[in-house]
Structure 1
Amino acid sequence: MAFALRKRGPSNFDRAADGSMTLMEHIRELRSRLFKASLGILVGFGLGLWLAKPVRRLLQEPYCGLPHSLDAQGQCNFVQLGPADLFLLDLKIALWVGLVLAAPVWLYQLWAFIAPGLHRHERRYAYVFTALAAPLFAGGAVLAFFVVQKGLEFLLDFSSGDIRTTLDITRYISFVTNLIMLFGVAFEFPLIILMLNFVGLVTGRRLLSWWRIVIFLFFAFSAVVTPTPDPFGMTALGLCLCALYFAAVAVAFVNDKRRGRGREVYAGIGDDEISPLPASDGEQVEAGQRAEAISPVADPEPVAPPRPIDRGYDDMT
């Protein structure tokens, strides 16, 4: 029994890449991608509701691990100022957990909509940068936990014995999550540096020449974003950012060497410097031969009058 094979046409990716997809088809595809991404986030939110309490206990560890946070019974207690604060806090944590768990789904849907408009090498760079973004963000989150624990320990050392410190659970969790987000985004800065280098806007030599300004800005940024005035968090964040910056500069030098940047004819000349002329070998330029006179152009011949139109019909008419 013979089966007829149906010929498949080009996929949506191919049609979007070659520009044959219409505007309405793009809008329908965007609607489909958003629906699938929202469905994935909804499923992740359901799992986040189940994991909300364990995640909340994990976020409480930087404070509960300190001896100042324990009461007379040896328990770490928080307070809530409103009857629904803890419920709303669990919903907020569940949403964050759902976004993290559903990240492969909504990131894929976003990438599938954007990728047809990129070249092959641009898609390859996007894969590399995405693979580096996740561990860098995780490293910033781990550093944020360290900074929170050391900062709270520094602040609680100033409390006297007659004052009992009890933190509001909502404000504390918001403080920790905001700090994790801020440190994670700060650790993505080397990727921006690499993007600028890969597209050819800056070179590794130029990035290395900015090292004094960059170190100052990193430590100033660390002093502003760290929650406590102690030097531990500021120093840790500033040193990590500097190390990541110099690692990015090293990668930029390798990329420049691979692309052959810096070997141009006028690469070592400043913008306001006069280009040197090549030294002559002393040879004299010989005088050219004398050009002969151009003969005049002859007058054109008269144009013959057109023939009379044949009124007959040919074999086609």
Structure 2
Amino acid sequence: MPLRAHLLELRRRLFFAALGLVVGAVAGWFLYVPVFDLLQQPLRDVAEDRDTIVALNFAGVATSFDMKIKVSLFLGVFVSSPWWIYQLWAFVTPGLTKKERHYAVGFLAAAVPLFLAGAALAFWALPNAVRLLTEFTPEDATNLIDAQTYLSFVMRLLLAFGLAFLLPVLMVALNFAGIGRAETWRRAWRWAVLVAFTFSAIMTPTPDALTMIAVALPICGLYFVALGVCALHDRRVDRRRRAEGLPGLDGTMPPPPPEQEQPA
């Protein structure tokens, strides 16, 4: 596919993804109140434990309205996740055969729960992060947190973990598209582990190593599961190519044809 066609396809997929996000944001608009109460719960817990004021502050006249729009869009990302994840799959793997495109069902079945699981893991770590970051407030002081800043912090945390859990699925998608072989991912496993623990240390600003390890281990586990899936797929592709008389993508040559007996 030429570059112009790739760019047109990218624009098309982004348009469809944005359309799904808007539809999801409309649904998020009606879920604003319970979700916003849920986002405030870590602050309420800290305020109750320390018997002090820790609350969100709406600094401007239109801040509450702006907050509702942002939370709706934030929820739209999760509500429409099956749709925009499919658009990502459709753009990354346009060259698959008709049979291989059936893997889209398995891709979505794995990608959507993983994205939501990553966000759930981040939400599990959120109370510890809020507790740590508000510990520096002096005694007898009031901690009024800007609502926009707090929302941006929560959004970055949940989306970062959700996308991190999608990376192994993207590895498999690239492998199925013939872009990255399992050997490439295998050689990079040390860097993958290092990046996973570094990411966890940055995104979970808590003083204990247990939280960092609890966050990093699932990411590492998903990486190695994806590596195993890529290895199985590469083996199947190489076996099929050798059966067709072509060299495998790993460089192995097909067996020579059996010699025919010469007539007497």
Which TM-score applies when normalising by structure 1? 0.59
Quick one: structure 1 residues 213 and 95, their matched pair in 2 at CA, closer, same or farther if it must change by over 3 Å? closer
- How far does residue 58 in structure 1 lie from its aligned partner after superposition? 1.5
The code of the aligned residue for 1:65 comes to: D
CA contact (8 A) 1:69 1:76 kept: no
Task: Select the structure with the greater relative contact order (CA < 8 A; seq sep ≥ 6).
Answer: 2
Cα gap change, 1:251/1:109 in structure 2, threshold over 3 Å: closer, same or farther? closer
Q: Check 1:69–1:90 CA distance in 2 against 1; reply closer, same or farther (3 A cut).
A: farther
Question: Where do residues 213-292 of structure 1 align in structure 2 (5 Å cutoff)?
Answer: 213-227=191-205, 231-260=209-238
Is the CA contact 2:238–2:249 (under 8 Å) kept in the aligned structure 1? no
Q: Which one of the candidate residues 20, 41, 44 is aligned to 1:61?
A: 41
Residue pair 1:151, 1:230 contacting (<8 A) in 2 also = no
Query: Which stretch shows the higher mean deviation, 113-122 or 62-71?
Result: 113-122
Q: Distance in 2 between matches of 1:60 and 1:214?
A: 34
What is the CA distance between 1:203 and its match in structure 2? Answer: 4.0
Structure 1 position 259, deviation (Å): 3.4
- Alpha-carbon displacement from aligned partner over 1:262-286 (angstroms, at most 9, x marks no partner): x9799699xxxxxxxxxxxxxxxxx
The secondary structure found in structure 2 opposite 1:187 is helix
Given that 1:69 and 1:165 are in contact with CA atoms closer than 8 Å, whether structure 2 keeps it comes out as no
Gaps of 5+ in 1: 1-25, 270-317
- For residues 105 and 265 of structure 1, the distance between their equivalents in structure 2, rounded to whole angstroms, comes to 35
Higher share of residues assigned helix? 2
Deviation at 1:145, TM superposition (A): 0.9
Q: State whether structure 2 residue 56 is matched by structure 1 residue 47.
A: no
| 8 Å CA contact 1:62, 1:149 repeated in 2 | yes
User: Radius of gyration: which is bigger?
Assistant: 1
Partner residue, 1:17: none
Structure 2 counterpart SS, 1:220: helix
Question: Residue by residue, what CA displacement relative to the aligned partner does 1:232-272 show, whole Å, maximum 9, x if unpaired?
Answer: 543333222111111112222332343346x9799699xxx
Residue in structure 2 matched with residue 4 of structure 1 by the alignment: none
- TM-superposed CA distance for 1:227, in Å, is 4.5
Deviation, structure 1 residue 175: 0.9
Q: Which amino acid aligns with 2:232?
A: V
Q: Extract unaligned runs of 5+ from structure 2.
A: 1-7, 253-264
Classify 1:77/1:151 alpha carbon distance in 2 versus 1 (closer, same or farther; 3 Å). Answer: closer
**Between Structure 1 and Structure 2, how many residues are aligned?**
237
The residue number in structure 1 matching 2:113 is: 135
Coordinate RMSD, CA, aligned: 4.1
Q: Give the 3-state SS of the residue equivalent to 2:56 in structure 1.
A: coil
Code of the residue aligned with 2:142 in structure 1: it is: R
Q: Name the CA distance, whole Å, in 1 between partners of 2:217 and 2:82.
A: 31
1:62 and 1:117 map into 2 onto residues whose CA distance is 46
Cα gap change, 1:137 to 1:105, in 2 (>3 Å) = closer
Partner of 1:89: 67
Matches within 5 A, 1:86-165: 86-98=64-76, 100-101=78-79, 119-165=97-143
The Cα shift of 1:70 comes to 6.6
Name the CA distance, whole Å, in 1 between partners of 2:134 and 2:122.
18
**Counterpart residue number, 1:19:** none
The AA in structure 2 aligned to 1:51 is L
Deviation at 1:194, TM superposition (A): 1.4
Contact 2:238–2:248, Cα closer than 8 Å, also in 1: no
Change (3 A) 1:174 1:204: same
Cα gap change, 1:106/1:76 in structure 2, threshold over 3 Å: closer, same or farther?
A: same
Q: TM (normalized to structure 2)?
A: 0.69
Shift of 1:223: 2.9
Query: 2:157 maps to which residue?
Result: 179
Deviations 1:185-220 (A, max 9, x none): 111110122123333444435533432222122222
Deviation string, structure 1 residues 149-182 (Cα, Å, up to 9, x no partner): 1122233344443333232222112210111111
How many Å separate the matches in 1 of 2:233 and 2:120? 30
Which one-letter code corresponds to 2:200 in the other structure?
S
